[in-house]
Amino acid sequence: MVGLISQSEKYSKELDVAVRAVQIACSLRNKVQTNLISEDCNSSSVTVAGWSVKAIISWILCGCLGGENISILAEEDVVQTLSKPNATELLETVVKIVNECLDEAPKFGFEAPKSALETSEVLEIISHCNSIGGPSGRFWSLGFVSGDQYAVALSLMEDGEVVVGVLGCPNYPMRKDWLSYQQSYHKIVSKLISPTSETWNEGCVIYAKKGSGKAWIQPVIHFNKKFVWPNHAKQVSVSSIDNLGLATFCQSVEEANSSHSFTDGLAHSVGLSNKPLRVYSMMKYAAIACGDAEVFMKFARTGCKEKIWDHAAGVIIIQEAGGTVTDVRGSSLDFSKGSYLQGIDRGIVACAGATLHEKIIDAVDASWASSCL
């Protein structure tokens, strides 16, 4: 029938727009570093970069998918924060960065604003980040972390299910052999080597849509490079390793809200003898999907809640790349209950395949009673 969209075409437009939007959001980090007005920006719970990302993503989604009622679930009511009298200087910086980035929009196939956006327009754009999520309808989920962990996660949710996921990781190297280096070494090399060369600085954007059975990766595009969209992309898939003795465990760098002691002990007990791959934030999902590691586990400390924007994009990317993500009970993660994942049994386990996943689940069950979690 005329008007029906085939399964292969479903969500294709949304995915295309989301990938290009995340590309712009990834590239703005250098502009933020140039424009930061004080060290207070870095200590704020929501950085200038985070506000700028929300504005840019919202502007692009509304402009390209304007026939829909665009609603975005994100971390904080930034409009209320930015409207405070003491936020004037921060807001001016956000507006400046947003306009600089949107001037580059034509490079990514978008139309730039006809004139520079005013402060009120930027606040209006950010106001679309007002979704409360839920089990019905369509909304976007936007996650962002700054600093060395810089990453952007954008996902489309439909009736409580993730249907599109895009992860932008500017600090995740395209070359696997760079992964073993610490971030401090990365910073030194970044200053010594031209950003136009094939270095760690390239970063990646990795993405997938529901039902495609495929995940794709492309390098982050930098504003200071000449390029023509579309960007080069290649298909990725999870590792074929199903032997725990040969598998690599992907571990968080940060310990603030997860238990390293339990995961370390568990990894040892099941025979994960390879040196763990230490990766920041949402990049752990990219590591599994790209085949750079085979196992990722996260067991939150008491009182910590998992936010859906930290996981939604990564989950669908791993699943479409051939991997498995569940809680310890083996149940799918539930993204239909608002801002937080609800009903998680103990923690999250992501693996390159069903065989590894089953072994890890069994090991967690066997070790849990003796843990202090």
Q: What residue spans of the chain are helical by DSSP H? A: 12-27, 29-35, 40-43, 48-64, 78-82, 88-103, 119-126, 183-192, 260-269, 283-289, 312-320, 354-368
In angstroms, rounded to a whole number, what is the distance separating the alpha carbons of residues 167 and 313?
A: 6
User: Is the backbone of residue 254 left (phi > 0), alpha (psi -120 to 50) or beta?
Assistant: beta
Q: Binding site: residue ranges?
A: 310
Beta bridge partners of residue 217, listed in sequence order: 206, 234
CA distance 173 to 170: 8
- DSSP-assigned letter for residue 81: H
Q: Which residues pair with 350 in a beta bridge?
A: 296, 325
First to last CA, the chain: 55
CA dist., res. 127 & res. 314, Å (int): 25
- Coil, strand, or helix at residue 316? helix
Q: Helix, strand, coil % (nearest 5) of the chain?
A: 40, 15, 45
Pseudo-torsion of CA 192, 195, 199, 205, nearest 10°? 140
Binding site members for Mg(2+): 310
**Which SS3 state, helix, strand or coil, does residue 139 take?**
strand
Please name the residues in contact with 273: beta carbons below 8 A apart, sequence gap of 6 or more.
245
For the chain, what is the largest distance between any 2 Cα atoms, rounded to a whole number of angstroms? 62
Residue type, 279: V
